[in-house]
Amino acid sequence: MLPIDRIAADTPYCSGKHKRHGMNVQVLTDPFGRLLWVSPALPGSTHDLTAARHHG
């Protein structure tokens, strides 16, 4: 989760797991840690598995 400042419409961005506001970003790397792909950001309340399925 990428932490963000609290916004007016904060409910979708509030992560119960991390107890703060944020965006869910999925990152794919190779075995050496080199960046291969970064997903568009989803609200922090989005479950990790749901985010992975959403971005294929």
pLDDT in tens, 28-54: 899 999 999 998 888 877 887 888 888
Q: What is the C-alpha separation between 16 and 31, in angstroms, rounded?
A: 30
What are phi and psi for residue 52, nearest 5 degrees?
A: -65, -40
Q: What is the C-alpha separation between 33 and 45, in angstroms, rounded?
A: 26
pTM of the model: 0.59
SS3 for 8? Answer: coil
Per-residue pLDDT for 16 more than 90?
no
SS3 for 54? Answer: helix
Per-residue pLDDT for 18 more than 90?
no
